[in-house]
Amino acid sequence: MGFLSRSAAQKGWLAVRVWTDRVCVAHVLPVPEGKPRIVLCQMHTLEGSPTVLKRLARDLQVRQHKVTCLLNAGEYQLLLVEAPNVAEDELRAAVRWRIKEQIDYPVDAATLDILHVPQDRNNPTRTASVYVAVAHNTLIAARQILLEDARFPLSVIDIPELAQRNLAACLEEPDRGYALLSFDAAGGLLTFTCNGGLYLARRIDVGFSQIVLNSEEQRERVFERIALDVQRTIDHFDRQFRSIALGQLVLALIPVACGLETYLASNLSVSVVTVALDAFFELSAVADSPEWLSAEQQAECLLTLGASLRIDP
């Protein structure tokens, strides 16, 4: 799923994520019957100048790649709506009409794309739902112009929920629900997947720094908020998708020493485990690189890496 698409070249995707002050670029190669291999993952300061992007595009020879750009929290909405009972080729128009009251700008000014929520095989009469990713046309156009002016051959614009779905697919067990929770500077993202499909996604208003840098007393309050949000979402998932057994909650790249895993394991109805980056990827090509990232930067770049796992349509 992406807002934009056109043909492009080389194996694997180069993913780029741009904030106001920094940019992350990542390139991951699929490996048959093995972990995907990271060949590039870098974070750069933009220094308030678009010339940084141009220099980066030149140094990385990005014209050789298919490029996907990952949007940031707050730049789009992900809406869950009942699927209109129309033919597939009429779905986009029907959904556009349906969401017009859920966005705060005219629907004609919206760019949208649709992702079907997998149907419950044990409950085929259940009402079908779709996720609608929607962003303002001006934001999409500005991001496209920024990257293409820097000579990034943009093929797709994608969203973090689907990048995290790609990550979860690296670790899922067949026919088992998989709950993955990650944090970056903007907050937490909790996704529920099964067999590569995205069933549920929830944002948690807690940033990575609040988990690892606050005092013990402050962290306790933060952990309580996280546990409450996670348990409510687990309960909702269990009610909505009764036929999918949820295995465990997986924390991605959260330092065990901060205590979040221990706290959640004691306060949730599921088991909790923490995984490092090497659970998803083969790191041998980058681990000794002088550009390799700190633990916090790895967490910040995780979803960009997930976007690079995009499967060609």
Is residue 105 within 8 A of residue 226, CB to CB? The reply is: no
Portions of the chain given CATH number 3.30.420.380: 1-167+280-313
Residue whose structure tokens are 């980056």: 277
Q: Count the helices and strands in the chain (H runs, E runs).
A: 8, 13
Report the pLDDT averaged over residues 120-125. Answer: 68
Report the pLDDT averaged over residues 37-60. Answer: 88
Report the pLDDT averaged over residues 112-120. Answer: 91
160, 152, 149, 143: which is closest to 252 by C-alpha?
160
- Topology of domain 1-167+280-313 in CATH is Nucleotidyltransferase; domain 5 (3.30.420)
pLDDT for res 8:
41
| pTM exceeds cut of 0.85 | yes
Portions of the chain given CATH number 3.30.420.40: 171-277
pLDDT for res 6:
40
Residue-wise pLDDT for 198-248, tens only, equals: 999 999 999 999 998 777 788 899 999 999 999 999 999 999 998 899 989
Q: Checking phi first, is residue 164 left (phi over 0); if not, alpha (psi -120 to 50) or beta?
A: alpha
Residue-wise pLDDT for 251-266, tens only, equals: 999 999 999 999 999 9
The answer to whether residue 28 scores a pLDDT higher than 80 is yes
Q: In what order do the strands lie in the sheet with 177-184?
A: 197-204, 187-194, 177-184, 246-252, 271-275
Report the pLDDT averaged over residues 153-165. Answer: 97
pLDDT for res 289:
67
- Topology of domain 171-277 in CATH is Nucleotidyltransferase; domain 5 (3.30.420)
Is residue 72 within 8 A of residue 184, CB to CB? The reply is: no
